[in-house]
Protein backbone atom coordinates (compact mmCIF):
# COMPACT_ATOMS: atom_id res chain seq x y z
CA UNK A 1 0.00 0.00 0.00
CA UNK A 2 1.60 3.34 -1.03
CA UNK A 3 1.47 6.45 1.13
CA UNK A 4 -1.45 7.98 -0.76
CA UNK A 5 -3.62 4.86 -0.35
CA UNK A 6 -2.65 4.77 3.31
CA UNK A 7 -3.64 8.43 3.70
CA UNK A 8 -7.02 7.74 2.07
CA UNK A 9 -7.54 4.71 4.32
CA UNK A 10 -6.69 6.77 7.41
CA UNK A 11 -9.08 9.56 6.39
CA UNK A 12 -11.83 6.93 5.94
CA UNK A 13 -11.11 5.51 9.42
CA UNK A 14 -11.23 9.00 10.93
CA UNK A 15 -14.54 9.85 9.20
CA UNK A 16 -16.20 6.56 10.23
CA UNK A 17 -15.04 6.83 13.83
CA UNK A 18 -16.13 10.45 14.14
CA UNK A 19 -19.57 9.65 12.73
CA UNK A 20 -19.94 6.65 15.02
CA UNK A 21 -18.85 8.64 18.06
CA UNK A 22 -20.81 11.80 17.36
CA UNK A 23 -24.04 10.66 15.65
CA UNK A 24 -26.50 8.40 17.40
CA UNK A 25 -30.02 7.64 16.18
CA UNK A 26 -31.95 7.21 19.43
CA UNK A 27 -35.12 6.27 17.52
CA UNK A 28 -34.55 3.94 14.61
CA UNK A 29 -36.97 3.69 11.67
CA UNK A 30 -38.27 0.23 12.80
CA UNK A 31 -38.91 1.57 16.33
CA UNK A 32 -40.77 4.58 14.90
CA UNK A 33 -42.83 2.21 12.76
CA UNK A 34 -43.79 -0.01 15.74
CA UNK A 35 -44.53 3.00 18.01
CA UNK A 36 -46.35 4.90 15.27
CA UNK A 37 -48.54 1.94 14.32
CA UNK A 38 -49.40 1.16 17.95
CA UNK A 39 -50.24 4.79 18.75
CA UNK A 40 -52.39 5.11 15.61
CA UNK A 41 -54.30 1.87 16.33
CA UNK A 42 -54.86 2.82 19.99
CA UNK A 43 -56.00 6.34 19.02
CA UNK A 44 -58.46 4.97 16.43
CA UNK A 45 -59.76 2.42 18.97
CA UNK A 46 -60.24 5.14 21.62
CA UNK A 47 -61.84 7.56 19.15
CA UNK A 48 -64.20 4.80 18.01
CA UNK A 49 -65.05 4.10 21.67
CA UNK A 50 -65.89 7.78 22.18
CA UNK A 51 -67.87 8.38 18.99
CA UNK A 52 -69.02 4.97 17.69
CA UNK A 53 -72.73 4.14 17.76
CA UNK A 54 -72.36 2.39 21.15
CA UNK A 55 -70.12 5.15 22.56
CA UNK A 56 -68.84 2.59 25.08
CA UNK A 57 -66.03 4.74 26.46
CA UNK A 58 -68.09 7.95 26.42
CA UNK A 59 -70.92 6.29 28.36
CA UNK A 60 -68.66 4.64 30.94
CA UNK A 61 -66.42 7.69 31.20
CA UNK A 62 -62.73 7.51 30.23
CA UNK A 63 -60.81 8.19 33.44
CA UNK A 64 -57.35 9.70 33.56
CA UNK A 65 -55.93 6.52 35.08
CA UNK A 66 -57.29 4.33 32.27
CA UNK A 67 -55.84 6.74 29.72
CA UNK A 68 -52.41 6.85 31.40
CA UNK A 69 -52.27 3.06 31.84
CA UNK A 70 -53.16 2.44 28.21
CA UNK A 71 -50.50 4.82 26.89
CA UNK A 72 -47.90 3.52 29.35
CA UNK A 73 -48.52 0.09 27.85
CA UNK A 74 -47.95 1.51 24.36
CA UNK A 75 -44.70 3.09 25.62
CA UNK A 76 -43.61 -0.18 27.23
CA UNK A 77 -44.21 -2.25 24.08
CA UNK A 78 -42.36 0.34 21.96
CA UNK A 79 -39.42 0.39 24.40
CA UNK A 80 -39.28 -3.43 24.35
CA UNK A 81 -39.25 -3.37 20.53
CA UNK A 82 -36.51 -0.70 20.59
CA UNK A 83 -34.39 -2.77 22.99
CA UNK A 84 -34.82 -5.80 20.73
CA UNK A 85 -33.71 -3.78 17.66
CA UNK A 86 -30.67 -2.37 19.51
CA UNK A 87 -29.79 -5.88 20.76
CA UNK A 88 -30.00 -7.32 17.23
CA UNK A 89 -27.89 -4.46 15.84
CA UNK A 90 -25.21 -4.91 18.51
CA UNK A 91 -25.05 -8.68 17.82
CA UNK A 92 -24.87 -8.09 14.06
CA UNK A 93 -22.05 -5.52 14.39
CA UNK A 94 -20.30 -7.28 17.28
CA UNK A 95 -20.50 -4.17 19.47
CA UNK A 96 -21.65 -4.00 23.12
CA UNK A 97 -25.35 -3.41 23.86
CA UNK A 98 -24.71 -0.46 26.17
CA UNK A 99 -22.53 1.82 24.04
CA UNK A 100 -21.21 5.22 25.25
CA UNK A 101 -23.59 6.90 22.74
CA UNK A 102 -26.62 5.09 24.18
CA UNK A 103 -25.48 6.04 27.68
CA UNK A 104 -25.16 9.69 26.61
CA UNK A 105 -28.65 9.61 25.05
CA UNK A 106 -30.20 8.24 28.26
CA UNK A 107 -28.39 10.79 30.44
CA UNK A 108 -29.50 13.66 28.15
CA UNK A 109 -33.14 12.52 28.15
CA UNK A 110 -33.52 11.78 31.88
CA UNK A 111 -34.18 15.33 33.24
CA UNK A 112 -37.11 15.96 30.85
CA UNK A 113 -38.49 12.44 31.36
CA UNK A 114 -38.39 13.13 35.10
CA UNK A 115 -40.56 16.25 34.63
CA UNK A 116 -43.07 14.28 32.49
CA UNK A 117 -43.18 11.54 35.15
CA UNK A 118 -43.89 14.08 37.92
CA UNK A 119 -46.84 15.63 36.03
CA UNK A 120 -48.20 12.17 35.15
CA UNK A 121 -47.95 11.14 38.82
CA UNK A 122 -49.75 14.33 39.91
CA UNK A 123 -52.64 13.72 37.53
CA UNK A 124 -52.79 10.05 38.54
CA UNK A 125 -53.09 11.02 42.22
CA UNK A 126 -55.15 14.21 42.24
CA UNK A 127 -57.22 14.53 39.09
CA UNK A 128 -58.46 11.53 37.22
CA UNK A 129 -61.26 13.34 35.38
CA UNK A 130 -61.10 13.48 31.60
CA UNK A 131 -61.01 17.32 31.68
CA UNK A 132 -57.35 17.17 32.75
CA UNK A 133 -56.32 14.87 29.89
CA UNK A 134 -55.61 17.53 27.19
CA UNK A 135 -53.19 19.33 29.52
CA UNK A 136 -51.39 16.08 30.41
CA UNK A 137 -51.11 15.12 26.75
CA UNK A 138 -49.73 18.58 25.99
CA UNK A 139 -47.09 18.12 28.68
CA UNK A 140 -46.19 14.70 27.24
CA UNK A 141 -45.86 16.16 23.73
CA UNK A 142 -43.74 19.12 24.84
CA UNK A 143 -41.52 16.91 27.04
CA UNK A 144 -41.07 14.41 24.20
CA UNK A 145 -40.05 17.23 21.84
CA UNK A 146 -37.56 18.46 24.46
CA UNK A 147 -36.16 14.93 24.93
CA UNK A 148 -35.49 14.66 21.18
CA UNK A 149 -33.88 18.10 21.11
CA UNK A 150 -31.72 17.25 24.15
CA UNK A 151 -29.99 14.68 21.92
CA UNK A 152 -29.51 17.25 19.10
CA UNK A 153 -25.70 17.59 19.50
CA UNK A 154 -25.24 13.95 18.47
CA UNK A 155 -28.55 13.08 16.75
CA UNK A 156 -29.07 12.89 12.97
CA UNK A 157 -30.84 15.87 11.40
CA UNK A 158 -34.11 13.93 10.88
CA UNK A 159 -34.49 13.36 14.63
CA UNK A 160 -33.82 17.03 15.39
CA UNK A 161 -36.49 18.01 12.83
CA UNK A 162 -38.94 15.57 14.48
CA UNK A 163 -38.08 17.18 17.83
CA UNK A 164 -38.81 20.70 16.59
CA UNK A 165 -42.06 19.63 14.86
CA UNK A 166 -43.22 17.85 18.04
CA UNK A 167 -42.32 20.81 20.25
CA UNK A 168 -43.98 23.19 17.76
CA UNK A 169 -47.15 21.09 17.74
CA UNK A 170 -47.24 21.09 21.56
CA UNK A 171 -46.76 24.86 21.58
CA UNK A 172 -49.46 25.41 18.91
CA UNK A 173 -52.01 23.27 20.77
CA UNK A 174 -51.24 25.23 23.93
CA UNK A 175 -51.39 28.69 22.31
CA UNK A 176 -54.13 28.07 19.71
CA UNK A 177 -56.37 25.48 21.39
CA UNK A 178 -59.48 26.61 19.47
CA UNK A 179 -58.47 24.45 16.49
CA UNK A 180 -59.35 21.26 18.38
CA UNK A 181 -61.36 22.82 21.21
CA UNK A 182 -64.70 21.98 19.63
CA UNK A 183 -64.18 18.34 20.67
CA UNK A 184 -64.74 16.88 24.15
CA UNK A 185 -61.60 16.95 26.39
CA UNK A 186 -60.94 13.19 26.08
CA UNK A 187 -61.32 13.35 22.30
CA UNK A 188 -58.89 16.29 22.11
CA UNK A 189 -56.31 14.27 24.04
CA UNK A 190 -56.82 11.20 21.82
CA UNK A 191 -56.46 13.24 18.61
CA UNK A 192 -53.27 14.93 19.81
CA UNK A 193 -51.74 11.56 20.81
CA UNK A 194 -52.71 10.00 17.49
CA UNK A 195 -51.23 12.92 15.55
CA UNK A 196 -47.88 13.25 17.35
CA UNK A 197 -47.08 9.72 18.52
CA UNK A 198 -48.93 8.00 15.67
CA UNK A 199 -48.81 9.87 12.37
CA UNK A 200 -45.59 11.82 12.97
CA UNK A 201 -43.72 8.58 13.75
CA UNK A 202 -45.17 6.75 10.77
CA UNK A 203 -43.99 9.65 8.57
CA UNK A 204 -40.56 9.60 10.29
CA UNK A 205 -40.23 5.84 9.68
CA UNK A 206 -41.21 6.24 6.02
CA UNK A 207 -38.76 9.12 5.46
CA UNK A 208 -35.76 7.65 7.27
CA UNK A 209 -36.12 4.03 6.08
CA UNK A 210 -34.76 4.64 2.54
CA UNK A 211 -31.80 6.61 3.98
CA UNK A 212 -31.01 3.67 6.28
CA UNK A 213 -31.03 1.21 3.37
CA UNK A 214 -28.74 3.50 1.36
CA UNK A 215 -26.27 3.66 4.27
CA UNK A 216 -26.19 -0.13 4.54
In the complex, the smallest distance separating the C-beta of residue 44 from another protein, rounded to whole angstroms, is 42
Instruction: Map the footprint of another protein across residues 75-104, applying CB under 8 A.
Output: 94-96, 99-100, 103
Instruction: Return d(Cα 168, Cα 166) in angstroms, integer.
Output: 5
Question: How many CB atoms sit inside 10 A of residue 19's CB?
Answer: 11
In the complex, the smallest distance separating the C-beta of residue 88 from another protein, rounded to whole angstroms, is 18
Q: Cβ closer to another protein: 13 or 117? A: 13
Asked whether 66 and 123 are in contact (CB, 8 A), the reply is no
Q: Cβ closer to another protein: 18 or 80? A: 18
Instruction: Map the footprint of another protein across residues 3-42, applying CB under 8 A.
Output: 3-4, 7-8, 10-11, 13-14, 17-18, 20-22
Q: Cβ closer to another protein: 60 or 95? A: 95
In the complex, the smallest distance separating the C-beta of residue 68 from another protein, rounded to whole angstroms, is 35
Q: Cβ closer to another protein: 97 or 118? A: 97
Instruction: Map the footprint of another protein across residues 99-128, applying CB under 8 A.
Output: 99-100, 103
Q: Cβ closer to another protein: 5 or 213? A: 5
Contacts with another protein by CB under 8 A lie at 3-4, 7-8, 10-11, 13-14, 17-18, 20-22, 94-96, 99-100, 103
Amino acid sequence: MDEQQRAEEHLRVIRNLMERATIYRAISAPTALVGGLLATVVSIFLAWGMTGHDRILANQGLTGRHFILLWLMVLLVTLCANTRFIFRKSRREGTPLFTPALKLTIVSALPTLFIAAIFTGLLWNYDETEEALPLLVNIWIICYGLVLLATAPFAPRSLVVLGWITLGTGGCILVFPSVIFRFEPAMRAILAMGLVFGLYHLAYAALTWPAKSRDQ
